Structure formats: structure tokens, C-alpha cells
Structure 1
Amino acid sequence: MSFRKVVRQSKFRHVFGQPVKTEQCYDDIRVSRVTWDSTFCAVNPAFVAIIVEASGGGAFLVLPLHKTGRIDKSYPTVCGHTGPILDIDWCPHNDHVIASGSEDCTVMVWQIPENGLTQPLTEPVVVLEGHSKRVGIITWHPTARNVLLSAGCDNVVLIWNVGTAEELYRLDGLHPDLIYSVSWSRDGSRFCTACKDKSVRVIDPRRGTIVAENLEEPMGLQELDSSNGALLPFYDPDTNVVYVCGKGDSSIRYFEITEEPPYIHFLNTFTSKEPQRGMGWMPKRGLDVSKCEIARFYKLHERKCEPIIMTVPRKSDLFQDDLYPDTAGPEAAMEAEEWVAGQTAGPVLVSLRQAYVPSKQRDLKVSRRNVLNEGRPAATPPAAATAPPAAAPARLSAPPALGTATTGSTAGGRLEEVLQEVAALRLLVTEQGQRISRLEEQLSRLENGHV
């Protein structure tokens, strides 16, 4: 009897990676030499941010995506920290707001001008002080506006309301050793941590409890050569593809995750000659759907940032619905107060059929008042995750151009009404776009003889 090997069918089997042309790279950048296992790079549809070497403090570059080629040594940086910057993260709900964590034990949140920097940016919108040791991890809540998580070398996780400069939750005592990485669930109800004690913990931040720890058996096991340094994983929930980049390695391995055994399926490896110092990851709404681009990385060399495009090879010029399901858009699903009060919501999805059109960004406003205690009763955190008293160490620093939110202003009230109307109209347009997409799909099926 002869047995024929069955090859598993997958539309991602032939995904290939390709670096862009030399002139489309960002050259002559002095990438940070700090020995820390973060990505050192953060990307969104408007900007690429890169942590760089700086004398007398910490700094990072913010470049408009089109600003390719050689970057002048005098190009302005974001440089308000007094110690080296260890991590940066763009706000998912505002492409002009970015947070940074530093060895100076502070978290800073910055508002980037519409067209990028024309002079050094030294004044953050807000400074968040609460860690006793350096802050190595920064990550925004995926669906609640203005909620930011920071983790420090004091083994403490802090969750902030950036809009009021407050500590919402202080999660202390859950990690006996250094926290290596943190990742939110898609709806932001929980987050997962990897710790130096070789434990993975799933944590409910609003209850201050560990939901799961030390998972006994992995769903799948893949042996990777990680001798060069930390692994940086990137997961795409739209395609169920996970990309693994080794810091100090020169390859990107990618796998498809399925619901049935063996769960993890190796797809391919993108290999280049130069090792990566860090890696940025473009949100799905920033990709070129006309070229069947399903992922884009921004690889940091010693003196360069090189975009790498991952593509599904297809010849059709039509929009590929199966590659691009509706994805997380730039609108927040709820406000910080609603999340604290116990609400949970997945991301507000948008269609990529008409490709991504950036919306008008609004400035980040920071108010000294505690909006959590006004208008509605806030959820009282339990003892394990108690919020600090009013005298908590949160220092406010707002530049004159942004100002502070005021309460009795007629103009301010009118502006809020206009913003609400714009948000309602944007939601209506999104819903109509999705309805048109469904009708087009039904029409296409009828034309092709499918009932």
C-alpha cells in the first residue's frame, strides 16, 4: 500500500517577506544601545518612533512615515526624560499621542504635532510618577480611552488614567521577580505577563487577582534557536498568524494558530543578513490592502530602520475579503471611567475595503479634577488592587498650547457637542460602509451564480 502525504491547506502557506528598497529606509539613525529587551520601535499609520542614543538623558525620534532616506543628525527628538528610555507605545485611539517609560522611574505621555516635530519636544502632556525603580514596559489599553499600563523593575504593575493623571490600580505582590513582558487581551478585561520566575500569569486588573498561573501543559511546543537574545512575538488576531522575531537574530518566523490539534503550524521564515536590534509592528489599518500586504515590520539595524513587508501572493486586483476581515479601528469603545466601573467591550471594528483614511486627531486633554468621582459612582477596587489616595504621586505637566480641560466654559461645552456629533456621524458612516460591503458581497455571489 502506498500512502500519500496530505499537505494542510492554508492561504498563508506562501506568505513571503520582502525588505523595501534602500531609498525607502530610514538611514543614519543612532539606535539606542541600552541593554533592555523591548522593541525600541513603535509604529502607527502616521509615524515611526525609534529610541535613540542621547547624551544626558533619554530621547526618541518621531518620523512621519514618508520621511525616508538619510535623517539629519540635528533632526529634533522627544527628549524630556532624565534617564535612558526603555519602552515606547503609540496610543491606539490617537495617532498623535505616544507614551514612554524610562530609567528615571517616570512615565511620560506626549502629543506629537500634526506634521511631526520641527523642534525638540521637551514638555510632555503629563508625567506619571509612581514607580520606585526604572519603568521598562508601557502598553495602552486596547479599547478604553486614556488607560495606560506600566510595569517597572520594582515588580509593580500600575494602571493609569492619563486623562486625569491618576493611578487607577496598583498591582503589587503578584510578581516575585522582574516582569519581562505584558500583553492585554483583545477586550482589555485581562492581561498576561511573563516573569523572570518562568511563570506566565493571567491577571484581572480590576479585581487585582491572578486568574491563571503556571499553565501545566502547552497547547503546542516549537523549538526555536533563542541563544542570541529575547524573542519578540507579534500576534495578528485577524489572520491568527503569530510572528516571532529574535532580538539579535536575523530572522522572522511565522506560524498559523488553529482551533484543532496540533494548534500551531509553522508557515515559513524570513531571513536577512543583518541582526535586528529591535522591531516595530504596523497596525492592520496602516497596511496597503491593494498589494495583499498582511503585515509590515520596521526592523532596527545599528544605524538604520528597514521596513519589511509580508505579502500573500495573489494576482487579483479585487479587495481580498478573506485576508482583511473588519479590524480594530482608531475609535475607543469606552471611556476610562466606564472601564473602571466594570464595563468590558471589544474593539470598534472598521472595514479596510476603502483602505484606511486617517481621521482628524483631537488633542489629549488632561484634567486635574477626578472625573471618576463626578456624575457616577466609580467601582471601588478591592483591597488587592486599591487605588492610591488623593495625594498619590502624580505630577501634571501640560504645555500652554494644550491647556487644561475646564468645566464652566460655554465654548468648551459647544466644542464637546460638536465632537459628539462628529463621533456619531463617523459611527453612522462606518455602519453604512459595512452595509454596502455586505450588499456588494451578496451581489457578487448572485453574479457568479451562487445563491
Structure 2
Amino acid sequence: MSFRRGVVRQSKFRHVFAQAWKAEHCIDDVRVSRVTWDGPLCAVNPKFTAVIIESGGGGAFLVLPLNKSGRIDQATPTVCGHAAPVLDVQWCPHDDNIIASASEDCTVKVWEVPDGGLTGPMTEPVVTLEGHSKRVGILAWHPTAFNILLTAGCDNLVCVWDVGTGELVYQIADAHPDLIYSVSWNREGSAICTVCKDKALRVIDPRRGTVLKVKEKVHDGTRPMRAVFLSDGKILTTGFSRMSERQLALWDTNDMSEPMAVQEMDTSNGVLLPYYDPDTNMVYLCGKGDCTIRYFEVTDESPYVHFLSLYSSKEPQRGAGFLSKRGVDVNKCEIARFYKLHERKVEPISMTVPRKSDLFQGDLYPDTAGVEPSLLAEDWIAGQDAAPLLVSLSGGYAGTPSKHRDKLRNKPKLLSQGSGTDSSPVPRQASSPTATTTAKEMESEGVGVVQQRVTRAEGEGASDRARREEEVLSEVLAEVKALRSVVLAQGQRIELLERQLVRIEDGDV
């Protein structure tokens, strides 16, 4: 009698295991917010952990250095400028010191946290964004354009802001008839997907305000849903079945008539918060109010969404922060880290791939999105898109900012100050080159700019001149880098339009 061995799917993430950190490495005595909002209540980056906390007479959140552990004194300073409870916080992907907060007071505030953390209560934001008429519970920074922030509130509005100028640049008012549950950008930031209380999944062009795709009844249940864009353009949603079972589903945006995959899990009533890692194509599902974190790998092979394992603990989670890939410990083969919120504690949980070698595991760590933005705000507003600029994690990511970060941070503010005394929004024109401009032409232009600026510096002292030349060269190289990504994006857009034109001529549209 012969037996066939079951075919086991090969994957380097098949044996990923989760491990909670020891008690001495947790953060204790944190009064985690009890607000009735199905958000993560926590945001983490390679420098800081931010946790929304209970506070009297307004809204506040803690900001602690990432390596902070132990008991938190009640006198620890907080960010406390909101007049009502804070519902969401999100770190800027292009500046680890910038964080946005959304509140029941109908405002969004953007803060700049000093290196090393807070030394006193922070009450003055860099900018306050006012445009919602009801509480604001969703924040989403643009993945590749600097200073672009999306907000969504209980007034069913989606707003897109240029944080550098404080302008409301786009508002989507008519797309959602009811409460918006979640918003996610695609990888290039050219589209967003949303799920709403009407059970529909929508793909929206935020610059035109047009709904590109709609799928009614993504999940049949009445409980809140979530949606996240994957790097290949597919969308993963979580929700509930008609029988109140928790589900996840995978959707192909080219054909949303039926899901590519559906998986049912259990009958718990906690909302499933999805956390997506584009580098490994893994999705982690944290059930709000339950004790498990499930993780899956998404592939091109049926059944497309492959369950890997689950982490289970005794205490339920109030929320969770997901550390960006730049912050993980590559020497320990850590591919993800969560910061699980208990009632009065923050507990780090590491996801690790067991490997015996001490060498850098390049297959686990493809180049990942760095802090450098691909576009400035005005470039994206003018219609340009670009993929993230990637960095290597070989040797660990040092976390040091790019040379040009401060210049990029200040540039939009300088633009707004130089636009005259009139504070009304001024339509901005694209200042980038046409798609026919080549990278070589831009480099030669850059050299010319260097020569002009260096000539102006001839009269300065030798040391000043050398310093000035170095600064000028850095500026020009940054501009060339940005222009290169613009040219690439424009070329891709022209190619797309040409394909659409051919389809129209062939009668396919």
C-alpha cells in the first residue's frame, strides 16, 4: 500500500514565529485611551512610539523614544493641544519627527517632535487643518509625495491637504453616503480605496474626485470593514459575513465581480485591523479586543491568500502599532514588529524567520521605502506620480535623515510665504520638465546651475566658498534626483495613455 506525501507549499515565511518581549522591555503604566473608535490607537516609527491616552479636559497622546521601557511616570509630558479626545495618530513616512493627529474636536494637527522626545507638554502644532464639520478619525500620509496628508471624518468627507502650506487642495464630498471606515493609498499614491458603512468598496482618483471602481456588498455583515491596497494593485478587505463570521477577501481591481479569495476565521465581534508589508507581501490581522494576531502571505498562486500561523496570548489587545521596515532588527531576522496595547501596558512583539546564518539575509529584506520622498507636494498636485525611493537594509538601517530632508521640509513653507500677502489658495502650476527631457539633459542643466552659483561665490573666502560649493552641489543633486523620478513617472503616464488610446481606437472602451 503506497502513501502520497502531502505537497507543502514552499515559502521562506512558512516558519515565521511571533515572540513577545520580556516584561522589562515593555512600557508600563500607560493609560491607553478608552475612546469608542475602531482605530489602532498607536503609531510607531524607527525613532518614536506614539500612544493615544486617557486625558482630562481634552485629547492627548504620549510620544516616547522607541527604546524607552519601564514604568511611565504620570508627570511624563504629552502632546495635548486638542480640545477633545484624539482618535488617530500617524507618523509622516518622510520625516520621523513629524506626526499628525485627528480628533473629535473636528481638527487635524501636525506636530514636530524634537529628537530625543518631549521635554515638556506640547500644545502648539506646526499647523492646524480645519475643514471637517464632524469628528475626524482617519489619517493617511501620501506614500511618496512630501507633505500630502489625507483625512476622513464622520461628515463623510475625504480631504487632501498640503501640510506645508496648510491648504485644502482636494475634497471628495459626494462619493460616500455614510460613515467611512478606512482609507488606503496605492503604492504610487495615484489612487485610494475606501470602505464605507454602505458595505461598498470604492477605488477613487483623489485629484479628480472621481470614483473609478465600485463593488457593492464587499462583506454582508453590518460590522465595520477595512481595506488596504497591496503593492500589485489588488485590494485586501476584512469584514463580517451575514452569520457574523470574521472574513478577509482579496479583490482584483480589474474585475471586482467576485473576490479572488475569501477566508472565514471565527465569530468574534472585534474589528480586524490589517497591517500590510509590501516587502514580504505579508498581511497581519490584529483583532481589536481579542488575543490573536494572524498572518498570511499573498501570492499569485491559488488560493492567493495563504494562512501562515497565528500568535495567541492571554490578554486582549486594545490596539496595535506596526513598526516600519526601517526599524526592524535585521541581525535577528526580524521581519516585522508590533506594539500591542494592553489596558495599561505597551508590549513589543517580534515576527522572526528562523535562520542559522549570521550573515545579512538579502532574500528576507529586499530594498524598502526610505525617508526620501519621490515628489514634492506641488509635483503630485500637478498630476505626477512616482514609485517610492528604495533603500537597502544591509548592515541595518542607521535611521539618519537624508542631507536634503530639512531643505525639503522648508521648501513648501517658503513657497507659501513667497506667494504674497493674500492667504487664499493660489492654483499652482507644474514646474517640472516635460516627459521628453532626458536625465542627461537635466544633469547638464544641473552642472550649469552649479557653475552659475559657484561663480557668485567667487568673492567669498576660500573656506566659505568650499562650504558653499558643497551645499550648492547637494541642492542640485537633490533637484536632479527629484526630476529624474518626475521624468520616469511622466513616461509611464504617457505609455498608459497611449495604451488607452489604442484600446479606444480598437473599440474596446
Task: State the TM-score bracket (shorter-chain normalisation).
Answer: 0.7 to 0.9
| Structure 1 counterpart of 2:86 | 85
Determine whether 1:197 maps to 2:198: yes
Q: Which residue of 2 aligns with 1:206?
A: 207
The equivalent residue for 1:159 is: 160
Distance in 1, matches of 2:303 and 2:41, equals 33
Q: Give the aligned partner of residue 362 of structure 1.
A: 406
Q: 1:298 to 1:416 in 2, by over 3 A?
A: farther
Residue-by-residue CA offset, 1:191-213 (whole Å, 9 max, x unaligned): 11111111111111111111111
Is 1:421 the counterpart of 2:465? The answer is no
The structure in which a higher percent of residues are helix is 2
209-218 or 161-170, larger mean C-alpha shift:
209-218
Q: In 2, distance between residues paired with 1:112 and 1:176?
A: 37
Residues 1:265 and 2:306 are matched in the alignment: yes
Match of 2:222 in 1: none
How many Å separate the matches in 1 of 2:469 and 2:270? 48
* Cα drift, residue 377 of structure 1: 4.8
Among 339, 342, 361, the residue aligned to 1:320: 361
Cα deviations across residues 11-40 of structure 1 (Å, max 9, x unaligned)? 111100000111111110000000001100
In the TM superposition, residue 67 of structure 1 has moved relative to its aligned partner by 1.5
The CA deviation string for residues 227-279 of structure 1, in whole angstroms up to 9 with x for no partner, is 23211001111111110010001100001101121101110000011000000
**Could you say what secondary structure the match of 1:362 adopts?**
helix
What is the deviation of 1:378?
A: 8.2
CA distance in structure 2 between the aligned counterparts of 1:65 and 1:420, rounded to whole angstroms? 34
Distance 1:293 1:165, change over 3 A: same
Indicate yes or no: 2:56 matched with 1:12: no
Q: Which amino acid aligns with 1:188?
A: G
Q: After TM superposition, give the deviation of residue 369 of structure 1 in Å.
A: 4.2
Q: 1:203 to 1:51 in 2, by over 3 A?
A: same
Partner of 2:323: 282
Q: In the aligned structure 2, how far is the partner of 1:119 from the partner of 1:211?
A: 47
Aligned-partner Cα distance in 1 for 2:473–2:159:
30
| 1:114 CA displacement | 1.2
- Letter of the aligned partner of 1:11 in structure 2? K
2:81, 2:119 → 1: CA distance? Answer: 16
Asked whether the 8 Å contact 2:379–2:430 carries over to 1, the reply is no
What residue ranges of structure 1 are gaps of 5+ in the alignment? 380-413, 429-451
**Count of aligned residue pairs for this structure pair:** 395
Partner AA of 2:477 in structure 1: A
Q: Which residue of 2 is the match for residue 239 of structure 1?
A: 280
Residues in 1 aligned to 2:373 and 2:478: alpha-carbon distance in whole angstroms: 15
1:80 match: secondary structure: strand
1:75 partner letter: T
Matches within 5 A, 1:101-250: 101-214=102-215, 215-225=256-266, 227-250=268-291
1:87-143 alpha-carbon deviations (Å, 9 max, x no partner) = 000000000000000000000000001111010000000000000100000110000
Superimposed CA distance per residue, residues 397-435 of structure 1 (whole angstroms, 9 cap, x where no aligned partner) = xxxxxxxxxxxxxxxxx999938716838999xxxxxxx
Q: 1:423 to 1:317 in 2, by over 3 A?
A: farther
Of structures 1 and 2, the one with the larger relative CO (CA 8 A, separation 6+) is: 1
Q: Which moved more, 1:93-102 or 1:218-227?
A: 218-227
Q: Report percent identity of matched pairs.
A: 62
Corresponding residue for residue 299 of structure 1: 340
- 8 Å CA contact 1:31, 1:303 repeated in 2: yes
Contact 1:226 1:246 in 2 (8 A): no
In the alignment, the residues of structure 2 paired with residue 315 and residue 425 of structure 1 have an alpha-carbon distance, to the nearest angstrom, of 40
1:127 counterpart letter in structure 2: T
Q: SS where residue 194 of structure 1 aligns?
A: strand
**Root-mean-square deviation over aligned CA pairs:** 2.4
Partner of 2:394: 353
Q: Name the TM-score, length of structure 1 as normaliser.
A: 0.83
Displacement of 1:167 in angstroms is 0.5
Change (3 A) 1:71 1:256: same
Offset at residue 219 of structure 1 (A)? 1.1
Residue aligned with 1:10, SS: coil
